[in-house]
Amino acid sequence: MPNPGTAKNRSLNYGETYACPVCRQGQLAALTLMDAYACPFCRHIFTANLQAQSIQLADGIQPLVWRWTGQNWQALHQGSANLTWLVWLLGGILVVVPPSLVGLAAYIFPNSETDPWNFPLLWTGLTFFIHFVLVSWLVAEHHQFPLYVALKIRVRELLASD
């Protein structure tokens, strides 16, 4: 027996609003005279398939799809597995190879003994950190994690209010 305090199961239709599956901050509402939904928070547009109880991101590069379970969205991964594998492989190479080259150069050409700062180690660490941040950003853009999307929108709103 369902708890009376929880949301009841409901089917996907154009007359109701739903939580946005991308940003999880806004509410999806039907667009007038269109078979689509839009989120005013993240400004994404979704095409709907009411028979399959699913929506697809219409304004994105990737064909992201979610199925409505009656209470929340369930992601259906239709993206290319080869592209995801390639993103992770290139990300790993970008994080490992440049710091390794800097570290190898520091090993081949050692620093002077009188230097109080260990610049080769500092440069190797800084190279790793910057490349890790760059790859993390690219992976977040590729996968569109809800926390990342919400943070990106909040920063955009903060910068626009100045």
Q: Which two structure tokens, joined as six digits, stand for 116?
A: 């109080």
At 64 the pLDDT is: 80
- Which band of pLDDT confidence, cut at 50, 70 and 90, is reported for residue 6? very low
Contacts of 82 (CB under 8 A, 6+ apart): none
pLDDT in tens, 60-119: 766 788 899 888 888 886 555 556 778 788 889 999 999 999 989 888 887 777 666 677
Dump pLDDT digits (tens) for 25-58.
889 999 888 888 999 888 888 998 888 889 988 8
Q: Which residue did the predictor score with more confidence, 77 or 147?
A: 147
Rounded to a whole number of angstroms, the CA Rg of the chain reads: 23
pLDDT at site 159: 87
pLDDT at 79: 52
Q: Give the per-residue pLDDT at 3.
A: 43
Q: Cβ distance 108 to 124 under 8 Å? A: no
Higher pLDDT pick, 22 / 78: 22
What are the Cα distances from residue 74, in Å, to 21, 65, 67, 141, 160?
8, 9, 5, 20, 32
Helix, coil or strand: residue 142: helix
The position carrying tokens 């708890």 is 3
**pLDDT at site 4:** 42
